[in-house]
Structure 1
Amino acid sequence: MFKWFRKKAEKEAIVAPLTGNIVTLESVPDPVFAQKMMGDGVAIEPTEGIVVAPIDGEIVQVFPTKHAIGLRSKKGLEILIHIGLETVGMNGEGFEVHVQAGDCVKVGDRLITFDLSLVQQKAKSTITPIIITNSDAIEHIERVEVETVQRGQTVMMTIATK
């Protein structure tokens, strides 16, 4: 008799890319993120303007307006970090990118710095969604019950992949 074994899901920790306060995705004042149209995840209300790598992996895309960045983990998770809401209209003003597509990064490596007070003045919000864009690869998301996170240190989510 044959026994069929189900492949055990691999888990991957997603570390906070910013320092700040956790906001549920459903609370983000933008329906694209709140309704998870781009994927599942969390958001952070930042208290400083430094974005670091939340995983070990590769930079897949840096948006020309410098307000968002895409990464792929070594296990294949695709992550979008979207700094603020309606920041695309700032056309890169106040943002400085420290990596480019194709770069390999480790947790805590600096990706983007931005002028938090300028984003507060010019954008709808500083809330920064962190989205898993290839949700078909996710079996389960376990969110860590914390209110504040420290960039490069606090685990925000553990993702079980299929």
Structure 2
Amino acid sequence: MGFFNKLFGGKAEQQEAKVEFISQNRTILAPISGKVLAQADIPDETFAQGILGPGCGIEPSEKTVYAPFDGVVSQVPSTLHAVGLTSDDGIELLIHVGMDTVEMQGKGFKGLVKEGEAVKAGTPLLTIDLRAIKAAGYPATTAVIVTNSDELGELKMLAEGSVSAGTPLIKF
């Protein structure tokens, strides 16, 4: 129980037990808990090839999608399978839940925010029914795509493997 144990021991354990969303400049936090996939491994060519922009996939293990930064909701389609956001520092992000889930016409999705609404990192955006997505025959892989990366500079991935929502994921 030396000096370092007293200084760092208890606090590190508390931080791991509780997920917190702490907004950071030009950083995208994981919007959902799950396994991070390289962009090339997203099971949809448009996302995998980066046609809409760079990012990654997350194979979700939880049902809630959260705001990955402070900003404004820029788009919520009527099918509720995605949400567009713009951060306070200019990142435009698309969170697209599942592949081809637009075909579900909103079944299995519940929108919790509206277009134009200001959100803080950690604000719940959507809830999803993973069983309904799989029962409909679609992958639940969630694409996290930066649609204005040309304006932001180089994207750096900060996480891999299993992540909890709120973990720093991407930085510019």
TM-score by shorter chain over 0.5: yes
Alpha-carbon displacement from aligned partner over 1:70-102 (angstroms, at most 9, x marks no partner): 000011110000000010000000110010001
Look up the SS of the partner of 2:154 in the other structure.
Answer: strand
Matched, 1:85 2:99: yes
Q: Does 1:141 align with 2:149?
A: no
Structure 1: runs of 5+ lacking an equivalent: 1-10
Runs of 4+ in 1 over 6 A off after TM superposition: none
* Equivalent residues in 2 for 1:1-162, closer than 5 Å: 12-151=26-165, 153-159=166-172
Q: Deviations over 1:114-140 (max 9, x none)?
A: 111111111420110000011221211
Looking at secondary structure, tell me which structure has more helix per residue.
Answer: 2
User: How far off is 1:148 after superposition?
Assistant: 1.1
> Cα distance, 1:48 vs. partner?
1.3
Unaligned regions of 5+ residues in structure 2, if any? 1-24
CA distance in 2, matches of 1:64, 1:26: 28
Q: What per-residue deviation string (whole Å, max 9, x for no partner) do you get for residues 35-91 of structure 1? A: 000000111000111100001000001011000000000111100000000100000
Aligned pair count reads 148
Aligned mates of 2:37, 2:133 — CA distance in 1: 18
Tell me the distance in 2 between the aligned counterparts of 1:114 and 1:145.
23
TM-score, structure 2 length as denominator? Answer: 0.83
Tell me the equivalent position of 2:17: none
TM-score (normalised: structure 1) = 0.88
Asked whether the equivalents of residues 68 and 82 of structure 1 are also in contact (C-alpha less than 8 Å), the reply is yes
CA distance in 1, matches of 2:97, 2:33: 13
Residue aligned with 2:40, SS: helix
Supply the distance in 1 between the matched residues of 2:153 and 2:124 (Cα, whole angstroms). Answer: 29
**How far apart, CA to CA, are the structure 2 residues paired with 1:148 and 1:158?**
18
Paired-residue identity, %: 39
Q: How far apart are the structure 2 equivalents of 1:113 and 1:89?
A: 17
1:143 Cα deviation from its structure 2 partner: 0.6
Note closer, same or farther for the CA distance 1:123–1:12 as it changes in structure 2 (3 Å cut).
farther
